Every structure is written in C-alpha cells, then in structure tokens.
Structure 1
Amino acid sequence: MTVLTSGLDPAGDAYAERRAAMLAKVAELEAEQAKAVAGGGPKYVERHRARGKLLARERIELLIDPDSPFLELSPLAAWGSGSAGGGQGQGFAVGASLVSGVGVVEGVECVIVASDPTVRGGSSNPWTMAKTFRAADIALENRLPLINLVESGGADLPTQKEIFIPGGRIFRDLTRLSAAGIPTIALVFGNSTAGGAYLPGMSDHVVMVKDRAKVFLGGPPLVKMATGEESGDEELGGAEMHARTSGLADHMAADEYDALRIGRRIVARLNWRKRGRAPLPVRPPRYDEEELLGIVPEDLKIPFDPREVIARIVDGSDFDEFKPLYGSSLVTGWAVLHGYPIGVLANARGVLFGPESQKAAQFIQLANQTGTPLLFLQNTTGYMVGREYEQSGIIKHGATMINAVSNSRVPHLTVVMGASYGAGNYGMCGRAYAPRFLFTWPSAKSAVMGPAQLAGVLSIVGRQAAQARGQAFDEEADAQMRAMVEAQIESESLPFFLSGRLYDDGVIDPRDTRTVLGLCLSAINSAAEPAEQAGGFGVFRI
C-alpha cells in the first residue's frame, strides 16, 4: 500500500500549541486581507454606491459563473509600501487599487483584472503595475483569456516617474496575448483615459457602459490647452460616440449589469477548450485538512515531516515515494491532486545536502519525461555549508539541482510552508525560477539567511575588521547593531512583507492548500501539455 500513515496526534499538547499559533497567524492574515476588501474605506465606498455603481468584487461576482470559485491573486499587494525598506516614499492601500485572479466565466477559466475606483479613483501606482504584469504573465503562460473590468483615473501622478516608462508593458502584453490566440476582453465601466485608453484600444473585444464609459487620449481640459477646442466628455470619448462613430466599442451596454451579461456572452462564443489533460476521478484525502493547522512549529528551527502535509492534500493520501532511503532530507514522490498527476518535492529536515540535490535533479528529469507538473513544498534553510561539504562538491550538486529546476519544461507550483532561506529558495523553485503559481502559509519566512545568522555574520566581519586595524572592538555597539539587524531581517522575512512585494501570489490559510492547488492545476491544463521530446538542460556539474 502506498497510502501514507500519519503520526500526527491531534489530541497532543504539541499539536494544540502549533494549531493555536497558526490560528493566530491566520487571524492576522484575515485582518490584513479585510483591508483590501474594504477598498478606499466607507466614505469612498458609499460615494461610489451613491453613483449607482457596483464595487470591483461585485462586478467579478456577477461576471463569473454562479457558485463558482474565484482564486484571488496578490490581495496583499502594496502591504507596507510606505514602511522602511518598502521602496516607496508613501504608502499605498493594501491591494494596490486592483483586484485580480482566476475565475470561471461560461465554463471557461479566465484571468480577471478589475480596477477598484474607491481607492484614489482606481489610479495605478507602482504596485498596481506589478500586479497587472503578473496577471498578464499568468494568462499567457497558462493560455487563459484575460478580462479587464476598467474604471481607472490613470496613473498616480506623484509616482509617475516609476510607472510611466515601464507601464507601457501593459499594452504590449495585451497585443502579445492576442497574437498568441488568447482572447482579451475589456468591459469599460468608467474612466479609461490617456494611456489607459489603449487598454480597450488593444483588446480583442470591447464593451462600454452608456453614459458612464469615458475613453479618450486627452480629456476636455487637455484638449482645450493643446488645441483650443471646446468639447464635452460624451462627444470626446463617451460610449455612444465610440459605438456609433469611432468604432472603438464593439458593444454599448445599457448599464453595468448589461455590460457583464455581454461580457459573459462574448466568452461563451469563444468556442474555447482546454488543451491539457483531463483530470482523473477525484478522491478526498484520508486525513482531515483541518489538521494542517497543527503541523508546522512556530519555531521554524524545529523540523517537521512534510509527509503529514502531503497526506492531507493529495487524493486518497496516496503517495509513491521515490528514493526514500537516499537523500532523506528531501522527500520526493508521485501523487494525484484533484485528479491531476503531480510530482512532489518537499523538504524534510530543512538542509539540502549533495544526495538530496542529485535526487531532486533525477526526479525532475523523470517528471519531464512524462510531462508531470511538479509541486515544491518549501521548508529549507539552504544548502549545507562547511569544510566537509564544500570538499565533497556541494556547489556542484546544488548547481545541478538548480539547473534542473531552471530548465524543467513542466509547470511548477510552489508552496512555502516554513523557512525559505538562501539558495534553498532557488533550488526549491522560488519566485525567481518562475513557478506558474507560488503561495505561502502565514508561518513562512524567507531571506538570504536567518536573522540571527545574518546579524552574527556582520558581527564577525566587524570584529575581524577592528582587529585588522588594531582597534578595540565596541561590544556595546555590536550588541545594538545585532539587535537592530535581527529586528529588520525578521520583519522583512515575514509573509505579509514579501506578499506585498508580489514575491508570491498570495498568503493562504493552510486549510485551503488543496483547493488552491486544485484550482491552479486546472488553470495550468488550459494550455497544451509540454512537448513530447525531452527538454534541454544546461551542463550538469557532476
């Protein structure tokens, strides 16, 4: 039998402590996500409603199929953007004035991007731009139609220097999606002006709401200044003008509900079909997903068995482990998740040694031979260091694993459950290695190394520098420096901070892991399976 046996004791004290700690983190997550849902706050939400308009998430809910899921992406974008290390001089609202995700419209999985006009009129800041780029990448990689629900005041002018030049990629991405045969649809509910006018201008299908949509390169004040011409909003860029005169609008909707209805009919007429494999019959895990709350210790220095996680997310808790006696710090094996075959790589004791690296590279090659997507479950402190390991070739072995991850042609999914430090983040398919989707648990931490280790390294370097200069080492200043550095690295390694910078696609409740991965695997299979021929790899240093 290949059904996993669980050693977790849900009645034990250790489980209770871990569960309580995780539930506290989940409560923090829900509080932060609520900020994104709140948009611009009660004042601006009520003003928007008073104009007879729907909120961004209401538009999405009416667009997607009834009772179907919506996988929201990057809801914490811009979190902490005004704090130290945030990279911006001012803070932006959590969510970056944009809602994005994957939803089902008329039976077709689509990427949906909706401006939130309650947040600074839906204007785009640097995090809005990054979130938009990510949505387009997901649409292109997974062959998913892209639907834009447009109502935006354009660029956030105080940060225009950061968004004007790179922001042109938004329109380039629309044309590349269309060139790849992936439909792009724009439903315009309000303003889409200046550069934003190219958003419907470069979409395959355009719907504008009568008396509400405003699409022009230059509004009346700009036209007056540039040409001296007097003109009103409607004659310059209203929905009726574009539907009757310019031809930019393919459909003029009577109201928002009509626009969403027309958008659904457009998708229904795409004659869209998935190119990937159909799922096998789905079997629930034999163990309760609720128990995922009590697996990860609050202290990430304490290892945990990832098989306990695997047993609660894969179909039937059925797992064929590959090389179980070799490189035991990395668990590899085959499973099915929501009917889709997958290969799993999961850190067991954090550290990656030479055998683990070689095992991973071989396993990745095997997955590529069969076109099987790979799931990386991260809890790693990185590759092992020290004289013995350097002499045994840890750099070569780590490079082999990273090479295999880099050049693997099958889709990758990544979930960061615990630690994600150093090059272990790379070898286990971190953001830089372009997994199709990457999510983190509230327990996750990621940095170049642990806070205490990083502060200690700086301390050692400072002590050696003082000795080299023949100076006395200031122990008090060193202690203050270590405390400051540890606090900074700790705050910058937390999941909200990282998610705010779009280093993942969202922080998720561990109990939702199976559902989220199932939605991702379904979306991935909208694209064609990998080519039959073996993929190319770089030169392995073996």
Structure 2
Amino acid sequence: MYIQKKSSDSESATSRRGNGDEFALTRPSQTPHLGHHTKPTKSKINTKAPEYQANYKEMLEMVDQLNERLQEATFQGADRLLDLHHKRGSILARDRIELLLDDDSPFMELCPLAGYGQDDMTIGGSQVAGIGLVCGVECMVSANVPTLQGGASNATTLQRGERLGRIAWENRLPQISLVQSAGANLAQQSSVFHPGGSAFRHLAERSKAGLPSVAVVFGNSTAGGAYIPGMSDYSIFVKGKAQVFLGGPPLVKMATGEVTDAESLGGADMHSRKSGVSDQLAMDEYHAISMAREFVAGLNWTKQGQLPMRHLKGFFDQPLYDPDEILGIVSANIRIPFDAVEVIIRIVDGSRFTPFKPLYGPNLICGWATIHGIPIGILANNNVLFPPEANKATQFIQLCNMRNTPIVYLHNITGFMVGKKYEEDGIIKAGARFINAVSNSEVPCISIVMGASYGAGNYAMAGRSYNPRFLFSYPNSKCSVMGAEQLTGVLDIVMRESAKKSGKVIDEEMAKSSMEMFQSMVENESDVYWTSSRSIDDGVIDPRETRTILGFCLSVCYNTEVKGGNLYGVSRM
C-alpha cells in the first residue's frame, strides 16, 4: 500500500509493505501523554492456540496473495517499451513521483487495484496516484503511465480519477498531475467521453475554492487532455517533449487542410512563447519536477485543522501488543466471529481504549482512543445489530461531534437483526436514528472493512455511499447486500412462492443450476478484489498496516477544520 521514496540518487522506485510504523510522520515515544489516566486494555488472546495459529497461516496466505496483486499493479509496460522510454531520456511514471516527493516521504497509493480482473482495462487505469509529501505539504499526486497503452484514459481511469478528486477536495489537498497521455482510449469512447468532462469541471471548481493545482507535462497531452494543463492553476512544460494540442497534425490536416508538425503546432517552446498555455519552460524532466516542488513550496500552505501537540512532537506510545497478531485474530473465514477489541488494542496508542456503554448493546463496540497522538472515536462490530446497539451508536456519534473527534468505523457486520420481535421493538426506528447520525455527522470518518459488510449494516457503518474520507478493506472481507448463500436462499423462496401462485411447476434441475450460477455470481461480486477493482474501496490493505494507514489518513483529514455539528433530523422516537 505504501511506497517509500529512497533518499539515494537511484531512479528506481522502491515498494515497501511493512507491518510497523516505518511510515509514521512523527517520532514514536514511550513517554505517556500528560493527564492520560486510561490503563491499557489487557488482551485475552492465546497466540499459542491451534485455532489462532491456523487462522494466522490462512490470513498470511491472503496477505501474500494481496502483495502479489499489488506487485502486478506496479507493472509499467513491456521491457522493450521501458527501454525505448529511457532511450528518449524520459523517466518512468513511478520514478517521476519518487523524485517529486520529499526524501523518505510516505506515499499512500490509492485505488491501486482499480480495473483489476476487468476485460480491456489496465490495472490502475494506466495511472499511478496517491498522497505524499512535497516540501512538507500533503499533496494528491497522479502520474500517467505512458509506457502502458500510451497512458490512455479508459473507464477505470475516470472512475478512479473521480474518487481521487473527491478525496483531494474533501481533504483540501493541493493536486499535482504528471501528464503524458495518448488521451482517451477511443475503443471505449462511449464510457470515456460522457463522464470525462467532470475532470475538467473539478479543476475549475478547485481553482474557485482556492485549492491549488499544477500540471507538469512531459509528453503528449492531446484533445481533452490538453485541458488538464489548460485548466490547472500552474503548468510546466518540458522543452522538446511536451506537446499539447486540441487536435494533432493528422486531424488538423483533415479538418482544415493545413499541414503542420507536432512541435510547431503544440510544442513546449511555442506554448511558452506564443500561446501562454505554459507558465514555465523546463529544460528537462528533472528541471520540471524541481519547478513543481518550487511551486508547492511557495504556496505557504497550512492545515486548517490543529493537530494535537503530542502528534506533532511524537509523544505517543506504540501499542503494547504486536500488530502482527492481527493476522491471527481477524477471521479468514468471515463466518467465524472475533472480538474487535483485540484488533483495537493492537492499533491504538499504548493499547489504551476507553469504552462507551460497554454493558449496553454489547454487539457494537464504541469508545475513545488515540492513534499517533490524534484522538479518535471508534465504532466496531462484534455481531449483528439490535435496537440497543443502534441507540448506543447514535449517542456516541453525537458525543464525537460534540468533542470534534474523528470517527473510525471497523466493519464486521451482517446487518440489523430481523424477525417479528425485533420489528415490534422498533429496529427500523433505531436503525434509522443510527443512519441519521452517520449521515449528518460532520467530523471526518474513516472506514475499514475487516470482515463482512452486508446490507444496512454497511450503511450504518459508513460504507461507500456515506462518503467516509477514506475506506479500506482487509483481504478476507466481503461486501454485498447479504451473504451469497442467504441471498440465494431468499431468491429460491421467492421463486417458489411465485410459481405456486401462478400454478407453474418448477423444473428442479434447472432451478438448481440457476441458483448455483446466481450464488457463484454473488460470491464473485462480494469478493474484495471485485469491489476494489471498481474503486468501491480506496485499497485492500495488509491488516498489520492498519495503524500506520490510519495515522497518515488522520493527518490528511486535518487539512480541513475538524469540527462537529448538529446531527438532528426528524427521528421517530
């Protein structure tokens, strides 16, 4: 998930996926923060137990598979294309990002598996994108991969770009685009053209809102792509390489009969001297990257939110328990329950967790802690939700808003309890109040799917449609309206009741085959790699990296003011 920039002069980017705090932005300390009287929560896990060992092994295999797929996502094209790119004196996309970022800056790559397993799509949409530090400023950085289908934009590129744009907007991040693209993949014109204009609209909206954007053009940026440097606040063109035009020489000749060459039509020198589209003419790619860094340095950019001093000075404790143990705790088989508290005390500072209403609505864990010195509220599932759990959650979210405290949602939920008794007890009303609170909460929230995330439980726990600032998934997780077997069973019952009413006779062999196909489809569409491929999450992560990722995301959230608000809408009591 993370790529750490090397401090050496080497061009090759290094991919690291550790399990500690090696990417933390602050210095860890064993010094307890003043006034913190909460005692560490004691773990009840026996790491020697056969069940733990077996689960650890199964989860480790899932993490290994994840790392293999993330490694696939770093593919930048065939060797011959990479060699040709280097012979032209050009730098690879990932190395451009490495040179742009500060020495040893963390780089949190977002939606790296977008497009994975989809026909006619490149993994990541021929793009590398994520958040890193440039001159000490957290920035959203994206780079076309010109050695992969010419860096052309396909449907995945736009879907991923839409999500990246939202993250940059909500978290008030300067945006840096490293541009070299063949433009739209014309074979997918219907799925690229219609939504494609939103990227340019977002640049205009960012500029109006005072969110800076800079485009560095290393090569081709044709047709709609010409509007990326054209609509960015600041544009840098590389001499002799950048070529920006609405229509290339062949189109110009076809449309007007004019014969021209690419350099005189849209070269960097022309745009820097005549058209004014370029704000700076860089002598080479290294010069262009240094100019982009100078632009960010000159922004005098500051966070609107005030991070706690203990975070800034690094006065926070590591968890008492090894994050590696999360692999033995979180169930590889989502049907097997596990205690979310055991995960919590392996990701929060000093393993200190203050529970809220621990004896009421025990299936939903609520409480406060800190991560990297930043206060957070946590909601985590231990089982299905009943009315008491929903009522507790509503009050807890209100308290977090009153305290201006970000919320972390840890999903492992099959949904709200169903049945006559629970309907009579008002499960709909209680759930509606819960969802009302989630919907109207104004503090930043971050969601992590640790296991199942089904039905209205996904909504209540701030799933994708509830706009968490960030959403990540563990490699064992599943997300859909309900479990595949349950959903297939429901459909089978409905089909049989419908046939009975209409007097039809069911072909049992055909019905069985149909149900098996449907269950297989649901299982496939519930799989974490299916959802991540469609940017429903922001990435699949190694559970051992949870603390590091949360610490980085919380810091990013503080680019905006962290302030709660009034949650009250109309609620049935």
1:478 paired residue among 511, 521, 533:
511
Match of 1:535 in 2: 566
Q: What is the Cα deviation at residue 251 of structure 1? A: 1.0
Quote the offset at 1:435 in angstroms: 0.2
Q: CA deviation at 1:536?
A: 4.2
Distance in 1, matches of 2:165 and 2:488, equals: 39
Q: 1:145 aligns with which of 165, 174, 178?
A: 174
Q: Which amino acid in 1 is paired with 2:259? A: E
What SS is found at the alignment partner of 1:479?
Answer: helix
* Match in the other structure for 2:465: 432
The code of the aligned residue for 1:12 comes to A
Deviation at 1:466, TM superposition (A): 2.5
Identity of aligned residues (%): 52
2-side partners of 1:195 and 1:244: how far apart? 22
1:393-434 C-alpha deviation (Å, 9 max, x unpaired): 111111111111011111010000000011100000000000
Q: Which amino acid aligns with 1:506?
A: G
Matched-pair contact (CA < 8 Å) for 1:113–1:132? no
Specify the alignment match of 1:86 in structure 2.
none
Say whether residues 1:314 and 2:348 are aligned partners.
yes
Q: Which runs of 5+ in 1 are unaligned?
A: 83-90
Q: Identify the residue that residue 31 of structure 1 maps to in structure 2.
A: 68
What is the aligned counterpart of 1:274 among 300, 303, 316?
Answer: 303
- CA drift at 1:51: 2.2
Q: Could you tell me which residue of structure 2 aligns to residue 22 of structure 1?
A: 59
Shift of residue 159, structure 1, vs aligned partner: 0.9
User: Take 2:363 and 2:61, find their aligned partners in 1: how far apart are those partners?
Assistant: 29
Per-residue CA deviations over 1:289-331 (Å, capped at 9, x if unaligned) read 1111111222212111001110011111111100000000000
Q: Which residue of 1 aligns with 2:239?
A: 210
**What pairs with 1:462-473 in structure 2 (closer than 5 Å)?**
462-473=495-506
**Number of aligned pairs?**
531
Asked whether the equivalents of residues 353 and 368 of structure 2 are also in contact (C-alpha less than 8 Å), the reply is yes
**Does residue 294 in structure 1 map to residue 323 in structure 2?**
no
**Helix, strand or coil for the counterpart of 2:365?**
strand
What is aligned with 1:56?
93
Select the residue among 429, 446, 449 that pairs with 1:413: 446
Letter in 2 for 1:48: H
Question: Given the alignment of the two structures, is residue 68 of structure 1 paired with residue 68 of structure 2, yes or no?
Answer: no
2:135–2:297 contact (8 Å) kept in structure 1 = yes
Kindly provide the amino acid, as one letter, of the partner of residue 540 in structure 1: S
Counterpart CA distance in 1 for 2:414 and 2:81 is 45
1:248 pairs with one of 277, 284, 307 = 277
Q: Measured at CA, do residues 41 and 383 of structure 1 come closer, stay the same or move farther in structure 2, by a change above 3 Å?
A: farther
1:195-230 Cα deviation digits (max 9, x unpaired): 111100111111111111011111111111111112
- Residue 505 (structure 1) aligned to one of 538, 562, 571: 538
The one-letter amino acid of 2:571's match is F
* Cα distance in structure 1, aligned partners of 2:109 and 2:118: 20
Q: Using the alignment, how far apart are the partners of 1:32 and 1:41 within structure 2?
A: 17
Deviation, 1:471, is 3.6
1:340 aligns with 2:374: yes
Tell me the alpha carbon deviations over residues 226-256 of structure 1, each in whole angstroms, 9 at most, x when there is no partner: 1111211111111111111111111111111
Residue 183 of structure 1: aligned partner: 212
CA distance in 2, matches of 1:474, 1:492: 27
- Conserved? CA contact 1:97–1:124, under 8 Å: yes
Work out the CA distance in 2 between the residues paired with 1:391 and 1:474: 38
* Counterpart-to-counterpart distance in 2, 1:133 and 1:474: 46
SS at match of 2:96: helix
Question: In the alignment, what sits opposite 1:96?
Answer: 125
- 1 or 2 for the larger relative contact order (CA 8 Å, sep ≥6)? 2
Note if contact 1:422-1:448 (Cα within 8 Å) is conserved in structure 2: yes
Amino acid at match of 1:312: R
Counterpart residue number, 2:389: 356
Q: CA deviation at 1:287?
A: 0.7
Distance (Å, rounded) in 2 between the aligned partners of 1:193 and 1:105: 27
**Contact map agreement 1:408 1:537 (CA 8 A) in 2:** no
C-alpha distance in 2 between matches for 1:391 and 1:29: 44
Q: Helix, strand or coil: the match of 1:191?
A: strand
Query: Equivalent residue for 1:170?
Result: 199
Letter in 2 for 1:369: M
Q: Which moved more, 1:457-466 or 1:199-208?
A: 457-466
- Residue of structure 1 in register with 2:549 after alignment: 516
* C-alpha distance after superposition, 1:168-221 (max 9, x if no partner): 110111111111111101011111111111100111111111111011111111
Matches within 5 A, 1:94-133: 94-133=123-162
Q: Which amino acid aligns with 1:154?
A: G
In the other structure, the counterpart of 1:232 is: 261
**Alignment partners' CA distance in 1, 2:567 and 2:347:** 31
Unaligned runs of 5+ in 2: 1-37
Give the structure 2 partner of residue 44 of structure 1. Answer: 81
Q: Equivalent residue for 2:289?
A: 260
Cα deviation, 1:355-412, whole Å, max 9, x if unaligned, reads: 1111111111111111110000000000111111111111111111111101111101
Other-structure match for 2:12: none
SS at match of 1:371: coil
TM-score, normalised to structure 1's length? Answer: 0.96
Picking from 8, 13, 20, the partner of 2:50 is: 13
Instruction: State the 1:454 CA deviation.
Output: 0.8
One-letter amino acid matched to 2:397: I
Separation in 1, partners of 2:79, 2:464: 35
Query: Contact conserved, 1:40 with 1:93, CA < 8 A, in 2?
Result: no
Q: Is the 8 A contact 2:444 2:562 kept in 1?
A: no
Q: Please state whether the residue corresponding to 1:206 is helix, strand or coil.
A: strand
* Letter matched to residue 382 of structure 1: G
Aligned to 1:458: 491
Q: Shift of residue 465 of structure 1?
A: 2.1
In 2, Cα distance between the equivalents of 1:28 and 1:307? 26
User: With structure 2 as the length reference, what TM-score do the two structures score?
Assistant: 0.91
Shift of 1:150: 0.3
The root-mean-square deviation of aligned C-alpha atoms, in Å, is: 1.2
SS of the equivalent of 1:139 reads: helix
User: Quick check: 431-440 or 33-42, which moved more?
Assistant: 33-42
